[in-house]
């Protein structure tokens, strides 16, 4: 019995199997798609707000929410991604950020109060910490003033305690830097009101490996931004270890991640 033969136009491109699967999962949308619609729908919410900063993932606005000073984080559409994929990723990150902030706040960790979340436009309205400064600016100012870096010991201890408490709640920040830590009203020293911000890359995990990577990201950012502060970061780690029973497993994973990082830099 002869097999049926399909007529194929020699000039037409035959789609690959992977392309066909992708088309079924993310069908092509008409021009004027949801990306532009979502961007336009955020305009009413952002009315009266002034653009403050912009990153690769979001724009930050300052304005008012029910009469209170507020910061608005708007995850704008990424036009280089398929609209449905972009919508799915953006919604998941918005949800994760709001949940991580709420989870930390329930644990007694200072984070900005979340006033309102719009999952349609992916806008998060948060407390505006007026008068606060970043830990990065505080350390840089202290170094430039000629003060002994050991005077920052109280701040390092507080950072270690806060991060240990966060990891005990199985919250992985994902982007730990001194720019993502604020000192409310310029407070410093022991008992400083340290506020963690920007949970845009956060997720939940109980694995020591993930927590070790989180600390490794902080270590690389800390030592590259603030030279000659190795003893200060070690003090942070000592405080982290003393504040959590789970810390030894995390520090062990941190050492393993360091070794992997050194091997990668040696190989190139």
**Which of 118, 137, 175, 210 is the catalytic position?**
175
The closest of 224, 239, 199, 246 to 101, measured between CA atoms, is 199
The answer to whether 180 and 221 have CB atoms below 8 angstroms apart is: no
Sign of CA dihedral 249, 250, 255, 257: positive
232, 155, 200, 74 alpha-carbon torsion, rounded to 10°: -130
Helices (H), the chain: 17-25, 34-41, 83-106, 135-144, 153-168, 208-225, 230-243, 247-267
Region at 66 (left for phi over 0; alpha for psi -120 to 50; beta for the rest): left
Measured CA to CA, the distance from residue 160 to residue 109 in angstroms comes to: 12
The answer to whether 140 and 146 have CB atoms below 8 angstroms apart is: no
- Spacing of C-alpha 221 from chain mean position: 14
175 is catalytic: yes
> CA-based Rg of the chain, rounded to a whole angstrom?
23
Catalytically active residues, by annotation: 175
């Amino acid at each position: 019995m002869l097999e049926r033969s399909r007529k194929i136009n020699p000039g037409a491109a035959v789609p690959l199997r992977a392309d066909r699967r992708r088309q079924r999962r993310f069908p092509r949308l008409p021009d004027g798609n949801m990306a532009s619609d979502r961007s336009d729908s955020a305009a009413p919410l952002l009315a009266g707000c002034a653009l403050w900063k912009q990153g690769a993932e979001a724009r930050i606005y300052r304005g008012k929410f029910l009469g209170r000073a507020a910061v608005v984080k708007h995850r704008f559409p990424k036009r280089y991604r398929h609209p449905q994929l972009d919508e799915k990723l953006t919604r998941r990150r918005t949800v994760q950020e709001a949940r991580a902030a709420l989870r930390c706040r329930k644990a007694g960790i200072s984070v900005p109060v979340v006033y309102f979340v719009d999952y349609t436009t992916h806008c998060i309205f948060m407390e505006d910490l007026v008068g606060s400064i970043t830990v990065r600016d505080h350390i840089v100012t202290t170094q430039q003033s000629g003060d002994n870096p050991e005077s920052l010991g109280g701040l390092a201890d507080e950072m270690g305690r806060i991060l240990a408490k966060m990891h005990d709640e199985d919250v992985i920040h994902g982007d730990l830097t001194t720019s993502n830590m604020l000192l409310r009203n310029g407070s410093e020293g022991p008992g400083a009101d340290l506020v963690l911000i920007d949970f845009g890359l956060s997720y939940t995990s109980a694995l020591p490996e993930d927590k070790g990577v989180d600390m490794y990201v902080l270590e690389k950012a800390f030592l590259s931004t603030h030279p000659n502060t190795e003893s200060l970061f070690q003090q942070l780690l000592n405080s982290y270890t003393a504040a959590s029973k789970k810390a030894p497993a995390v520090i062990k994973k941190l050492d393993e991640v360091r070794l992997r990082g050194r091997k990668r830099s040696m190989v190139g």
